[in-house]
Amino acid sequence: MEPRRDVDAVARVREVIGPDVDLSVDVAAIAKWTTSHAVRMARRFEEFGLRWFEDPLDHRDLAGYARIRAAAPIPLATGERGWTHEDYRTLAESGAVDIVLIDPGRVEGLTGMLRAADHAAAAGVRFVPHSWSSALNTAAALAVFASRPNGEIFEVKLRPSPLQHELVDEPFDQVDGWLAVRDRPGLGVEVDEEVVRRYADAG
């Protein structure tokens, strides 16, 4: 843990993007921050006007998130490692977080994501799709995001990769920061079976 480095990094990004662009900080729970350290950092990050402060602790540490919330008025987000929609019910009803991050590839698929988003909505919590693997994951997450009223922002991995940009007939790409919802049957994509065979044979 290097507090000065972390604060300097966030300060520099805020300086470069200016005050009118949203900025979030993702710690990643694998960093193993203690609750006390997370509280101190939340206080130091306040001045940068974060859209949210993500995963300073493991998503199951609800008492720790409650301590952060009591110490600093900063929006808290977690949940991308949740595996069941009941995980999200627990998170949303805890009152300890503002945003849950939901990955349809982990949370019991499309139906699990729908239920998780609805648990969040019932508790007045917003959600962000954690769409960080394949184009099929993106398609499923986008369908849920477009159909629910409590979506915050759509997170998507746009770095070129076979799973995101070769697997389907029409890959997802942002245009001026936006993703279009497809007006096509199902999830709006078709798997390119030739690509599947090519990579299966290469393995």
Q: Quote the domain boundaries for residue 61.
A: 19-159
The answer to whether position 94 is within a domain reads yes
The answer to whether position 87 is within a domain reads yes
Q: What's the structural domain count of the chain?
A: 1
Q: What is the pTM of this model?
A: 0.91
The answer to whether position 175 is within a domain reads no
Sheet architecture: strand order including 52-54: 24-26, 52-54, 76-78, 99-102, 126-131, 155-156
What CATH number should be reported for the domain holding residue 37?
3.20.20.120
The answer to whether position 182 is within a domain reads no
Contact residues for 8 (Cβ-Cβ < 8 A; gap 6+): none
Provide the β-strand partners of residue 202: none
pLDDT, tens digit (0-9, with 9 covering 90-100), for 146-203? 999 999 999 887 788 889 999 999 999 888 889 889 899 999 999 999 999 998 887 6
The answer to whether position 145 is within a domain reads yes
The answer to whether position 8 is within a domain reads no
pLDDT, tens digit (0-9, with 9 covering 90-100), for 41-63? 999 999 999 999 999 999 999 99
The answer to whether position 93 is within a domain reads yes
